[in-house]
A and B are shown apart, each in its own frame.
Chain A
């Protein structure tokens, strides 16, 4: 999944032994059929939905960009979209900071470690594999104002003043979502950075220290450049994950992004508009949200990939 390898590469090429186009097609067909029916066709249809007016599930006439205009001029969308978008960006920023400080530190500490290495790796990666919905609900119980273990612990150690309704207070709720998301994801960069650090030949560092390079110089000139591809992968996947965030905010704030929209994100807004708004043009409006989100995610992901590839080329 590395950014550098996201391009198909040609296999061993020797004429005469390759599959003919017809045989190749037979092999590809089942996958292609599934891909077209359940991914490609619905995606293109979804984009087209946003250009029509809808009455319930009946498609009306072609309205050009009316649905998009609605998103930016009519309530509640005019307010909800920037609000939700801002929360998605916070999620991305929070996760990036968490992963590239704590995550990177953990990975490099683990890399140098011999005893209990596997144990630590397992402990740190565990939350990443648990269902985000379960994680969200688990934290909602942990942070419950009266009986939750978090507030109970704060009271037990004499910090009772800090105990508060974390998810009921609009100013703390979004930070809970950011923290829980970053906490869950950190296992991924720990593993990925670990693999990247493992790929750096020890001789380079040895040679550098023989030449009198300090630890910081070695990190900056050897380790960091070697980590760039991994950082690129983490950035792209974190961006996509943050923009698609759904189960954790759903579990922590419900489909309305409670309290008062403080935990709303774009996917929740899309879900709400499509399935819970009761507006007669729900399909048109929600498809416009989906299209914008789609273009934004794909566009920025491509940009990060391109940017990282360029950075790699500059370094190597």
Chain B
């Protein structure tokens, strides 16, 4: 094959993301290939082993772990899950976390969609400045404003209230969500708006019926990507939630680690319970997570 055709072939490859794989002759493993493979396997093991150990140990008894720190869960013992879920109130924490996460992600996505649409379809300095203000939230350590937030909610009797967490996380999601959504709205051709206008649609109808369906992939990215930090956040509930019945999972875990210090099996089960939803989300929405992490990379 001449060099010229090779270069051309490569170009078509970069354009089509997944070229139909032509049957290639099996390549003999080179030394470099072997080294790179073993490095990847080694690091993948370093990366995943602690999480596997967490799951595996949650299926063993504490006594078993004490006598044999490196054993396997044979036969698996599920009693510590029951203990964590019911006796250690993980059920309550879990339900609270789901409520807060779903509520705040919906809130921040809804308000960010509206704002992002406005940012993409206006051109005055005023809106540019507002967008800059929102974006600055990506770099500001906003959690340091916890004291005034605490006093504000306290004076309204809203500490230990899950709704206050929903509003706070809703606000915290705005910088990232408007950033991703506005860049999507900007890619939509202005002719769409013109056509909608000619058909007599007002700005809201244009937003709702024309634009919204087109930015669905971005909405999925924003939802999935905000789910993770909200589900994991520990700082706000640690300070704002005093009532144990209102604990979310992360604060619940700190209390649980104090109380069940020696009950290793239950501790591992609790950690696993807090992690399962994330793994599920990650496995079904890898694409959205990756595009969220790399948002803005494709210039």
* A171 sits at the interface (CB 8 A): no
Within B123-167, which residues are at the interface with A (CB < 8 Å)? 123-124, 126-128, 130-135, 137-149, 151-152, 167
Q: Complex Cα distance A199/B290, Å?
A: 15
* B244 sits at the interface (CB 8 A): no
With a CB–CB cut-off of 8 A, which chain A residues contact B53? 142, 149
Q: Assess the B271–A8 pair: CB atoms within 8 A.
A: no
* A162 sits at the interface (CB 8 A): no
With a CB–CB cut-off of 8 A, which chain B residues contact A138? 50-51, 54, 271
Q: Complex Cα distance A180/B182, Å?
A: 35
Chain A binding surface SS class: helix
Q: Assess the B293–A274 pair: CB atoms within 8 A.
A: no
Within B1-59, which residues are at the interface with A (CB < 8 Å)? 3, 6-7, 10-11, 13-14, 36, 39-40, 43-44, 46-48, 50-51, 53-54, 57
* B278 sits at the interface (CB 8 A): yes
Q: Assess the B40–A31 pair: CB atoms within 8 A.
A: no
Within A166-200, which residues are at the interface with B (CB < 8 Å)? 183, 186-188, 191-192, 195-196, 199
Binary CB contact string for chain B from 187 to 208 against chain A (1 if under 8 A, 0 otherwise): 0011001100100000100010
With a CB–CB cut-off of 8 A, which chain A residues contact B182? 8
Q: Complex Cα distance A287/B290, Å?
A: 37
Partner of B44, one of A32, A123, A129, A132: A123
* B298 sits at the interface (CB 8 A): yes
Count: A-B pairs, CB below 8 Å: 311
Q: Assess the A109–B190 pair: CB atoms within 8 A.
A: no
* A228 sits at the interface (CB 8 A): no
Query: What is the chain B residue whose CB lies nearest that of A3?
Result: B296
Partner of A1, one of B108, B118, B138, B278: B138
Partner of B145, one of A39, A121, A243: A39
Q: Assess the B144–A130 pair: CB atoms within 8 A.
A: no
Size bracket, chain A contacts:
35 or more
* A280 sits at the interface (CB 8 A): no
Q: Assess the B66–A147 pair: CB atoms within 8 A.
A: yes
Q: Assess the A129–B228 pair: CB atoms within 8 A.
A: yes
Within B229-262, which residues are at the interface with A (CB < 8 Å)? 231-232, 234-235, 239, 249-250, 253-254, 257
Q: Assess the A12–B149 pair: CB atoms within 8 A.
A: no
Q: Assess the A195–B69 pair: CB atoms within 8 A.
A: no
Q: Assess the A2–B130 pair: CB atoms within 8 A.
A: no
* A165 sits at the interface (CB 8 A): no
Interface residues contributed by chain B, number (CB under 8 Å): 114
A227 to chain B, nearest CB (A): 11
A11-B186 contact, Cβ under 8 Å, with A126-B51, A127-B47: yes
Q: Assess the B44–A153 pair: CB atoms within 8 A.
A: no
* B214 sits at the interface (CB 8 A): no
* B274 sits at the interface (CB 8 A): yes
Q: Complex Cα distance A91/B115, Å?
A: 36
Q: Assess the B50–A27 pair: CB atoms within 8 A.
A: no
A195-B297 contact, Cβ under 8 Å, with A126-B51, A247-B234, A293-B141: yes
Q: List 26 A-B contacts (CB under 8 A).
A: A2-B296, A4-B296, A6-B138, A12-B186, A17-B121, A19-B118, A21-B124, A25-B118, A38-B167, A46-B144, A120-B40, A122-B283, A124-B47, A125-B289, A131-B234, A138-B50, A138-B54, A141-B267, A142-B53, A202-B11, A229-B297, A233-B297, A244-B143, A246-B235, A275-B239, A293-B144
